[in-house]
Amino acid sequence: MPDNSQLHALYGGTFDPIHYGHLKPVEALAARVGLQNVTLLPNNVPPHRPQPEASPAQRIEMVRLAIAGNPLFSLDLREMRRDTPSFTVDTLDELRQERGPDQPLAFIIGQDSLLSLHKWHRWQDLLSLCHLLVLRRPGYSQTMDTPEQQHWLEQHLTDRPEELHQKPAGHILLADTPLVSISATEIRERLHQGRSDADLLPSSVSEFIMREGLYRNPNPHAILRR
């Protein structure tokens, strides 16, 4: 049974593949904020959007391998089971109903996602459902694109982790997490070029990618564009 009094953090992503840029900053965040558990939520990518290269089953298996034996992480497949788009706000609505109004909930995003948050479905509702914990990411601005967005950010900012445990939702923490210069795009490109993914993701995931022959052929999108 989940403990409804503790701050529970969720981390959504395509994880095509999962890598150290996902895992390392979150481990640091957990230590800093006092998170006991982070639930990874792999996305269902809707049919009209560019599809991940790995299948849903492969993306799930890579997440499983990456977190095996690490008690910080768990896996929630609810978005994968839907055949509709993964809107974070719908998932959070559902979790809020399951967990009740008082459970502190947080959604973890990278700085790039914060900068484009205003394009998310019902983004204004997110902070009534959860806190946002933002990971630093190399190459992305620390300030929002418009004065209105910056004002919105500053209205909700906190630098006190206690507040995240005391209130169910509503704060944004810009976490001082290590900068990790890795993206799934870069890993896929390296593998397409026959280069190594060493040190970019856990070796169990790397071995799975080899066994499955994933990301090996030239990128199909690149061929189409030629």
Q: How far is the CB of 5 from ligand ATP (least distance, A)?
A: 26
| Rounded (10°) angle between helices 203-212 and 56-67 | 150
Which positions from 132 to 151 touch ligand ATP by CB under 6 A, shown as an x/- string?
A: ---x-x--------------
Q: String of b and e for 108-117 (b: at least 16 CB within 10 Å)?
A: bbbbbbbbeb
Give least dist CB 137 to ligand ATP, A.
Answer: 4
Among 16, 53, 79, 197, binds ligand ATP (CB under 6 A): 16
Residue of 58, 91, 113, 206 interacting with ligand ATP (CB under 6 A): 113
CB 182 to ligand ATP: min, Å: 5
Residue 109 is a binding residue for ligand ATP (CB under 6 A) = yes
Residues 54-83 that bind ligand ATP (CB under 6 A): none
Dihedral sign from CA coordinates of 128, 178, 113, 182: negative
Angstrom distance (rounded) from CA 208 to CA 61: 9
> Which stretch in 87-95, 155-163, 181-189, 195-203 sits in contact with ligand ATP by CB under 6 A?
181-189
Q: How far is the CB of 124 from ligand ATP (least distance, A)?
A: 19
**How far apart (Å, rounded) are the C-alpha atoms in residues 138 and 153?**
19
Q: Does 27 bind ligand ATP (CB under 6 A)?
A: no
| Helical spans, DSSP H, in the chain | 20-33, 56-67, 78-81, 88-99, 111-115, 126-129, 147-156, 161-166, 184-192, 203-212, 220-225
Number of residues this chain uses to bind ligand ATP (CB under 6 A): 18
Among 112, 163, 189, 212, binds ligand ATP (CB under 6 A): 112
Piece of 18-26, 56-64, 150-158, 216-224 that binds ligand ATP (CB under 6 A): 18-26
Between CA 146 and CA 185 the distance in angstroms is 27
Q: Yes or no: say if 74 and 107 are a contact pair by the CB < 8 Å rule.
A: no
- Provide the binding-site residues for ligand ATP, judged by CB under 6 A: 13-16, 21-22, 25, 109-110, 112-113, 135, 137, 180, 182-185
